[in-house]
Amino acid sequence: MSEKMKVQQDYPLSQKRPDLLKAPTGKMLEDITLEKVMKGEVDPEDVRISPETLELQAQIADADGRQAISRNFRRAAELIAIPDERLLEIYNALRPYRSTKQELVDIAEELEEKYDAKINGAFIREASEVYEKRNKLKKDE
């Protein structure tokens, strides 16, 4: 994956570079077929996107000058390591008036330290600042 993605040459990855795509379990895209699903040889984890695939998509977006979508792919790649239940808790904590500034900072630190999700940690810190300026934080109890 060291070579940079080229939009016209590599997009869409599933058609032009399936050799680069694999599930978080290590199964290659070619190993995930309807026949194997029907036989029970493909598990739900086999059809989840991997951080590596999201990074490839981000590189394609970068090459096409689409930095916003590129950032979104990289944020998503970090979130894969976080359990779904915790993601929902964080989502709810980000709703206006649900968290204090310190609670949001604590979430940012958790993301950075426990999950190495530096981009998302910075995003939560930025949200805490914006919420503070706009009076959208929960009042300290």
Q: Are residues 2 and 64 in the same domain?
A: yes
pLDDT digits (tens, 9 = 90+) for 3-29: 555 666 888 999 999 999 999 999 999
Q: Are residues 57 and 89 in the same domain?
A: no
Angle at 111 between CA 109 and CA 117, to 5 degrees: 120
Q: Are residues 90 and 74 in the same domain?
A: no
pLDDT digits (tens, 9 = 90+) for 58-107: 999 999 899 999 999 999 999 999 999 999 999 999 999 999 999 999 99
* Residue ranges making up the domain that contains 11: 1-80
Tell whether pTM > 0.85: no
* DSSP per-residue string spanning 66-79: -HHHHHHHHHHHHH
Q: Are residues 54 and 114 in the same domain?
A: no
The total number of structural domains that make up the chain: 2
Q: Residue 131's domain is classified under what CATH number? A: 1.10.1510.20
Q: pLDDT category, 114, cuts 50, 70, 90?
A: very high
What are the CA-CA distances from residue 110 to residues 77, 117, 121, 122 (Å)? 16, 9, 8, 11
Q: Are residues 141 and 100 in the same domain?
A: yes
Alpha-carbon torsion, ordered 52, 57, 61, 66, to 10 deg: -90
CA distance 130 to 95: 12
